[in-house]
Amino acid sequence: MRDRGIALKLALLIIPITIAIFLFILGYYYNISKNTIIKNVEENSRNLALNAVNKIEKSLKTFELVAENLSYFVQSSNYTKNELLSMIETAVNKNKEIYGSTIAFEPYSFQRDSLYFAPYFYKGENNIRFTYLGGDSYNYFNWDWYKIPKEQNKSLWSEPYYDKGGGEIVMSTYSVPFYKILNRENKFEGVVTADISLNWLSNIVKSLKISKSGYGFLISQNGNFITHPSKQLIMNESIFSIAKSKNSLKLKEMGNKMMSGKSGFELIDGILSDKKYWIYYSPLPSNGWSLGVMFPEDEIMADINNLSKDAVLISIEGILILLLVIIYISRSITMPLRKLSEATKDIASGNLEFDIPEIKSRDEVGNLSRSFEYMRSSLKKYISDLKETTAAKERIESELKIARDIQMGIIPKDFPPFPGRTEFEIYASIEPAREVGGDFYDFFFLGDNKLFFLIGDVSDKGIPASLFMAVTKTLIKAVATSTDKNLSEIAYKTNNDLFSDNKMSMFVSIFFGILNIDDGEIIYTNAGHNRPFIIKNDGSVLMLEKTDGMALGVFENAKYVINKVRLNFNETIFLYTDGITEAMDENSSLFGEENLKQQLKECSSFKAEEIINHINNKVKEFVGDEPQ
User: Around 93, how many Cα atoms within 13 Å sit in the side-chain half-sphere?
Assistant: 11
Range with the lowest mean pLDDT among 88-97, 354-363, 372-381, 383-392?
A: 354-363
Q: Are 245 and 258 in contact (CB under 8 A)?
A: no
Contacting residues for 336 by C-beta, under 8 A, at least 6 apart: 357, 359, 361, 365, 369
Q: Which of 9, 160, 40, 148 is nearest to 99 (CA)?
A: 160
Work out the angle between the directed axes of helices 462-482 and 364-409 (0-180°, nearest 10): 10
* Measured distance CA(195)–CA(176) in Å, rounded: 12
With 80 as the cut, is the pLDDT of residue 164 above it?
no
Q: Are 121 and 92 in contact (CB under 8 A)?
A: yes
b/e map of 119-153 (b: 16 or more CB within 10 Å)? bbbbbeeeeeeeeebbeeeeebbebebbeebeeee
Full DSSP string of 91-160: HHHH-TTEEEEEEEEPTTTSSTT-S---EEEEE-SSSEEEEE--BTTB-GGGSHHHHHHHHHTS-EEPPP
pLDDT at 1: 44
Q: Are 77 and 241 in contact (CB under 8 A)?
A: no
Contacting residues for 372 by C-beta, under 8 A, at least 6 apart: 340, 343, 344, 356
What average pLDDT does range 69-95 have in this prediction? 90
| Phi/psi of residue 309, nearest 5 degrees | -60, -45
* Measured distance CA(381)–CA(396) in Å, rounded: 23
Work out the angle between the directed axes of helices 593-601 and 608-623 (0-180°, nearest 10): 130
What average pLDDT does range 198-210 have in this prediction? 82
pLDDT at 301: 77
Alpha helices for 410-461 (secondary structure H): none
Q: Across the strands, what pairs with 454?
A: 442, 512
With 50 as the cut, is the pLDDT of residue 325 above it?
yes
Note the residue count of the chain: 628
CA 153 to each of CA 159, 179, 527: distance values in angstroms, whole numbers, following the listed order: 18, 10, 87
Query: How many other C-beta atoms are found inside a 10 Å radius of the C-beta of residue 291?
Result: 27
Tens of pLDDT along 506-540? 899 999 999 999 999 999 999 999 999 999 999 99
Q: Are 134 and 143 in contact (CB under 8 A)?
A: no
pLDDT at 347: 64
Greater confidence, 359 or 468?
468
Work out the angle between the directed axes of helices 199-206 and 6-76 (0-180°, nearest 10): 150
Q: Which of 35, 190, 211 is nearest to 107 (CA)?
A: 190
Q: Are 454 and 443 in contact (CB under 8 A)?
A: yes
Greater confidence, 482 or 4?
482
Q: Is 410 helix (H, G, I), strand (E, B) or coil?
A: coil
The dihedral over CA atoms of 560, 566, 572, 575, expressed in degrees to the nearest 10, equals 0
**Side chain identity, residue 471:** V
What average pLDDT does range 354-381 have in this prediction? 68
- What does DSSP assign to residue 344? G
What average pLDDT does range 8-21 have in this prediction? 79
User: Around 166, how many Cα atoms within 13 Å sit in the side-chain half-sphere?
Assistant: 18
* Measured distance CA(549)–CA(110) in Å, rounded: 105
**Domains and their CATH numbers in the chain:** 78-197 (3.30.450.20), 346-398 (1.10.8), 414-623 (3.60.40.10)
Alpha helices for 410-537 (secondary structure H): 462-482, 487-500
Greater confidence, 364 or 1?
364
Work out the angle between the directed axes of helices 302-343 and 6-76 (0-180°, nearest 10): 160
pTM, entire model: 0.49
With 80 as the cut, is the pLDDT of residue 462 above it?
no
pLDDT averaged over every residue in the chain: 85
Measured on CA atoms in the order 401, 405, 411, 416, is the torsion positive or negative?
A: positive
Q: Which of 572, 564, 475, 477 is nearest to 513 (CA)?
A: 564
Tens of pLDDT along 260-296? 999 999 988 888 888 888 899 999 998 889 999 988 8
What average pLDDT does range 477-504 have in this prediction? 88
Q: Which of 586, 206, 209 is nearest to 217 (CA)?
A: 206
* Measured distance CA(238)–CA(290) in Å, rounded: 12
DSSP H or E run through 451: strand 450-458
